[in-house]
């Protein structure tokens, strides 16, 4: 079938998995992959908007009401992220546009990364690596390197006990950690102590791991009060979204020694990272890549391709997002 006769899928980002996805499904779909330096309006000059019924986007692409208005025939938004905070779900509901996300595909990989960040910042692994790489380190006694903190036996508070949070808890239990949590609702299926307040949770914990979805209720849920409640020996790990933490207050508390350290995979204004964080030895940083594994990428390609096939064949989607008012 000629490319122009294939169903059109607008690709924004593009997602990191797109280079793998495109050759696998280019015989079934005509992917419109605009140059990152060009605008969506520019693309629409070459492809009639009414011919585009599906959109594929990455987590760093805003699918706002303005974007949706440019696509009057759009009936599907696929995101390669577990979160949907970059999509105007209210407008999608009004327009009866279906939305599907990655669901739990990344849960295990993100949980692995969360524990790695926590272990790294507490045991100062990256700091020790930098120490050995500095000039003349051999002229200094190694036993003067600053002490780390043990992870085993620590009280870890999980902010958001969803699929990722549960995987984090499972891994930390093997370290002998005591798990506590806060979530939208108390989970009847778990025995971990539940706290309705993040401040109360922080007061009782040695570390917090943020892995909940970002929405109006969770925006900056970890604020200065929470950080101070965690205390000078406490640690924060964020593998959810940057907006879950008041980043300016976190930087300030780190600089003032009000908290022990942080492991951050996400930031409020990506790809911008506060320069103060780059200078701190008690902070471990990664570029929003907790979900990036070869295995997850292949699984994601299968999910996205399967959802596109289902949509254009009028079959139910996998991991569809429930659009509520």
Q: Residue 87's beta-bridge partner residues?
A: 63
Look up residue 284 and give its DSSP letter.
E
**Selected catalytic residue, list 86, 247, 249, 288:** 288
Told to judge if 241 belongs to the known catalytic residues of this protein, a careful annotator would answer yes
Neighbours of 111 (CB within 10 A): 24
Q: Say if residue 263 is exposed, middle or buried (CB neighbours under 10 Å; 0-12, 13-18, 19+).
A: buried
Residue 84: helix, strand or coil by DSSP?
coil
Of 86, 108, 241, 268, the active-site residue reads 241
Assess contact for 71 and 9: CB atoms under 8 A: no
How far apart are alpha carbons 137 and 89 in whole angstroms? Answer: 53
Q: Which residues does 160 contact at the CB level (< 8 Å), separation at least 6?
A: 181, 182, 183, 210, 211, 212, 213, 218, 240
| DSSP letter (8 states) at residue 188 | T
**Does residue 42 contact residue 266 with C-beta atoms inside 8 Å?**
no
Instruction: Return the axis-axis angle of helices 294-312 and 18-25, rounded to nearest 10°.
Output: 40
Catalytic residue among 3, 173, 270, 295: 270
d(CA 259, CA 282): 10
Radius of gyration (C-alpha) of the chain in whole angstroms: 22
- Distance CA(93)–CA(104), nearest Å, equals 23
The CA distance from 245 to 218, in Å, is 9
Closest CA to 183 of 170, 201, 171, 168: 201
Query: How many other C-beta atoms lie within 10 A of the C-beta of residue 97?
Result: 22
Query: 30: which strand partners?
Result: 8
Q: Is the dihedral of CA 312, 316, 318, 319 positive or negative?
A: positive
- Catalytically active residues are 241, 270, 288
């Amino acid at each position: 079938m000629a490319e122009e006769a294939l169903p059109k899928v607008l690709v924004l980002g593009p997602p990191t998995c797109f280079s793998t996805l495109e050759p696998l499904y280019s015989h079934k779909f005509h992917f419109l992959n605009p140059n990152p330096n060009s605008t969506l309006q520019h693309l629409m000059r070459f492809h009639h908007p009414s011919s585009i019924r599906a959109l594929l986007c990455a987590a760093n692409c805003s699918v706002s009401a303005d974007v949706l208005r440019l696509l009057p025939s759009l009936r599907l938004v696929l995101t390669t992220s577990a979160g949907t905070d970059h999509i105007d779900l209210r407008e999608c509901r009004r327009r009866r546009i279906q939305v599907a996300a990655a669901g739990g595909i990344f849960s295990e990989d993100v949980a692995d990364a969360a524990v790695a960040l926590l272990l790294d910042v507490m045991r100062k692994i990256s700091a020790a690596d930098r120490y050995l790489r500095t000039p003349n380190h051999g002229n200094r006694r190694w036993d003067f390197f600053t002490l780390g903190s043990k992870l085993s036996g620590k009280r870890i508070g999980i902010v958001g006990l969803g699929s990722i949070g549960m995987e984090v808890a499972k891994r930390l239990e093997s370290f002998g950690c005591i798990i506590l949590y806060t979530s939208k609702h108390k989970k009847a299926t778990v025995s971990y102590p539940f706290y309705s307040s993040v401040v109360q949770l922080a007061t009782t914990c040695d570390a917090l791991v943020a892995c909940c979805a970002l929405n109006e209720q969770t925006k900056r849920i970890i604020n200065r009060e929470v950080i101070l409640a965690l205390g000078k020996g406490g640690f924060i790990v964020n593998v959810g979204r940057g907006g879950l933490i008041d980043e300016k207050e976190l930087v300030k508390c780190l600089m003032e020694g009000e908290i022990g350290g942080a492991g951050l995979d996400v930031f409020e204004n990506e790809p911008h990272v506060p320069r103060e964080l780059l200078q701190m030895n008690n902070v471990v940083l990664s570029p929003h890549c907790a979900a990036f594994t070869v295995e997850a990428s292949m699984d994601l390609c299968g999910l996205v391709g399967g959802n596109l096939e289902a949509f254009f064949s009028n079959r139910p989607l996998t991991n569809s997002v429930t659009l509520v008012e």
